[in-house]
Amino acid sequence: MGSKALLVCIVDDDESVRESLPELLREFGLVPRAFETAEAFLSSGLADQTKCLILDIAMPGMSGPELEQELERRGYVIPIILITAQPEYFSRPEIRKGAVACLIKPFSDTDLLEALRKALKQ
């Protein structure tokens, strides 16, 4: 996707997503880091280096939209790709408002690549 390594963080409580997405992101030439919880991402100290956040909506503890609000409150502007296995979430505009893209699991490599291109252009 580019010569400079771009950090893309994944926050999802689904272990299969945390295992498979980093491999795909590496194939796209990106530097992935995966986190099981929003809290783990916040405490990682990587928010200021993250060029895109792939964020699950429904997670135990802090939800994806709550993490988005917390990042905004702290002054971080990170393009977000929301992902969920529950498409009914996307019918709620307040959830989608800050997202560059919204993908329903399972999504295709092509859809993810298109969303990443859009997010990383910002």
pLDDT digits (tens, 9 = 90+) for 5-47: 899 999 999 999 999 999 999 999 999 999 999 999 999 999 9
What confidence tier does 3 reach under pLDDT thresholds 50, 70, 90? very low
**Above 70 in pLDDT, residue 122?**
no
Q: How many CB atoms lie within 10 A of CB 64?
A: 24
Question: Could you give the CA distance from residue 90 to residue 22 in angstroms, rounded to a whole number?
Answer: 24
Q: At what angle do helices 109-121 and 15-27 cross, to 10 degrees?
A: 70
Tokens coding 17: 């997503």
pLDDT of residue 95: 78
Indicate the average pLDDT of the chain: 93
Q: Are 60 and 37 in contact (CB under 8 A)?
A: yes
Q: What is the DSSP string of the chain?
A: --SS--EEEEE-S-HHHHHHHHHHHHHTT-EEEEESSHHHHHHTT-TTTEEEEEEESS-SSS-HHHHHHHHHHTT----EEEEES-GGGGG-HHHHTTEEEEEESS--HHHHHHHHHHHHH-
Structural domains of the chain in order of their starting residue, each with its CATH number: 7-121 (3.40.50.2300)
List pLDDT tens digits, range 84-118. 999 898 888 777 788 999 999 999 999 999 999 99
